[in-house]
Amino acid sequence: QQPVQSPQAVILREGEDAVINCSSSKALYSVHWYRQKHGEAPVFLMILLKGGEQKGHEKISASFNEKKQQSSLYLTASQLSYSGTYFCGTEIPRSQGGSEKLVFGKGTKLTVNP
Amino acid sequence: DTAVSQTPKYLVTQMGNDKSIKCEQNLGHDTMYWYKQDSKKFLKIMFSYNNKELIINETVPNRFSPKSPDKAHLNLHINSLELGDSAVYFCASSRRRAFEAFFGQGTRLTVV
């Protein structure tokens, strides 16, 4: 039930854009996005609960598709501070055979260079 | 004030020893978690407590035993430590399920 994240790694120059995808084989209750910098704890970015929802957080935004099986995280005009590993966490409802616990993907390592 | 605090930050111990990691949150949250992050950075839930009651108990060896004396504390005791237990252990809390989770700074456990 682990969500699949892609790509595994991205290298950008400052000012470039990136998209990180998170997909599930089953409809989800929610998608959570976190960023973890090297040697630090994961930090919450946003949660999406509704199909078709889009949310923004400064220049970082995310969408949740209508079927609630895929979410994408958009990073625009990237800054050096965006570097880190991005994790999506998903919850599958009991109605879909899930256990309602938050399961994280394997992460996407984002490196922003000057 | 740190929202979720774990102690110790580093723990180096020999195989076979028993050790504990403590976690406290001052956010008034109902739900607390233990996660294990291995060397490949895979973040996996181990336990989840809601109001001191165990609600998620993943397939972890029974050498791992969580204890929640009250809503603000969730400690992790590990018996007979093995080399494979080496990892970073994160405690986290959230108001309730599907809410933002706040993570502690992690405890890097090294078993030698």
Using the Cβ of A30 and the Cβ atoms of chain B, whether some distance falls under 8 Å is answered with: yes
**Average pLDDT over all residues of chain A:** 91
Overall number of domains in chain A:
1
Nearest to B84 by CA among B106, B56, B63, B55: B63
Judged by average pLDDT, the poorest of A43-52, B11-20, B51-60 is: B51-60
Answer whether B97 sits within 8 Å of A91, measured CB to CB. Answer: yes
Q: Are A75 and A59 in contact (CB under 8 A)?
A: yes
- B65 contacts B79 by C-beta, under 8 angstroms: yes
Average the pLDDT over A45-61 and give the result: 87
> Where do the domains of chain B lie, and which CATH numbers do they carry?
4-111 (2.60.40.10)
Higher pLDDT, A87 or A53: A87
Q: How confident is the model at residue A99 (pLDDT cuts 50, 70, 90)?
A: low
Summarised one tens digit per residue, pLDDT across range B28-87 is 999 999 999 998 889 999 988 888 788 777 778 899 999 999 999 999 999 999 999 999
A73: domain CATH number is 2.60.40.10
Determine contact, residues A87/A77, Cβ cutoff 8 Å: no
- What are B84-99's pLDDT values in tens digits? 999 999 999 998 776 8
HSE, CB side, 13 Å, CA atoms: give it for residue A39. 1
Domain that holds residue A56: 4-113
pLDDT at A93 over 90: no
Distance from CA of A93 to the nearest CA of B (A): 11
- Cα–Cα–Cα angle for A94, B43, A112, rounded to 5 degrees: 120
Q: Give me the mean pLDDT over the A93-97 stretch.
A: 75
Nearest to A104 among B43, B58, B98 (CB): B43
| Residue A37 region by backbone torsions, left for phi larger than 0, else alpha for psi between -120 and 50, else beta | beta
Contacts of A95 (CB under 8 A, 6+ apart): none
Query: Which residue spans within B1-112 are E strands per DSSP?
Result: 4-7, 10-13, 19-25, 31-37, 43-50, 53-57, 64-70, 73-78, 87-94, 101-103, 107-111
Section A82-110 average pLDDT:
87
Cβ of residue B102 closer than 8 Å to a chain A Cβ: yes
Residue B87, pLDDT score: 97
pLDDT for the residue A102:
84
For chain B, positions 49-78, list CB contacts with chain A under 8 A.
Answer: 56, 58
